[in-house]
Chain A
Amino acid sequence: MSAVPRYNALELSAVQEIANIGAGSAATALSLLVGRPVDIGVPAVELVSLAVASERIGPAEARVAAVLTPVKGDVPASLLLAFPDDAAAVLCGLLGTTADSDMGRSCLQEIGNILTGSYTTAIAGMTGLAIEPEPPLLAVDMLGSVMDAVLSLAVEAADSVLFLQTAIRIEGVECSFGFLFVPSENAIPALLAALGLA
Chain B
Amino acid sequence: MSGARHMVRMAEQVVSSDPTDMLVSLGLGSCIGLAIVDEGARVAGLVHIVLPKAPAGVNGALAPKFADLAVPKLLEDVMAAGGRSGNLRAVLCGGAHMFGNAGTNPIMQIGSRNAAATMEMLQKLRIRVRAHDTGGSSGRSIEVRVATGEVYVRGVGQQPRQL
Contact = CB atoms under 8 A, between A and B. Distances in A.
Closest 4 CB pairs of A and B: A144-B27, A145-B139, A145-B29, A137-B99
* Residue in B29, B57, B62, B100 with the greatest tally of chain A CB atoms within 10 Å: B29
A28 B59 CA distance: 44
Interface of B: 9-12, 26-31, 50-51, 55, 57-59, 61-62, 65, 96-102, 105, 107, 110-111, 137-141, 155-157
18 contacts: A1-B59, A49-B11, A54-B27, A60-B27, A137-B101, A138-B99, A141-B138, A142-B29, A144-B29, A145-B29, A145-B138, A146-B27, A146-B29, A148-B28, A148-B29, A148-B31, A159-B11, A159-B59
Contact of A142 (B10, B11, B26, B110): B26
Given A50-B9, A145-B139, 9 more contacts: A3-B59, A137-B101, A139-B99, A141-B98, A146-B139, A148-B28, A152-B50, A152-B51, A159-B59
Contacts of A54: 9-10, 27
Interface in A81-97: none
Contact of B55 (A137, A138, A142, A157): A157
B26 A146 contact: no
Given A3-B62, A141-B156, A148 B10 contact: yes
Q: Is the interface of B mostly helix, strand, loop or mixed?
A: loop
Nearest to A151: B10
B27 A148 contact: yes
Contacts of B12: 51
A61 B27 contact: yes
A68 interface: yes
* Residue in B58, B65, B157 with the greatest tally of chain A CB atoms within 10 Å: B65
B10 A1 contact: no
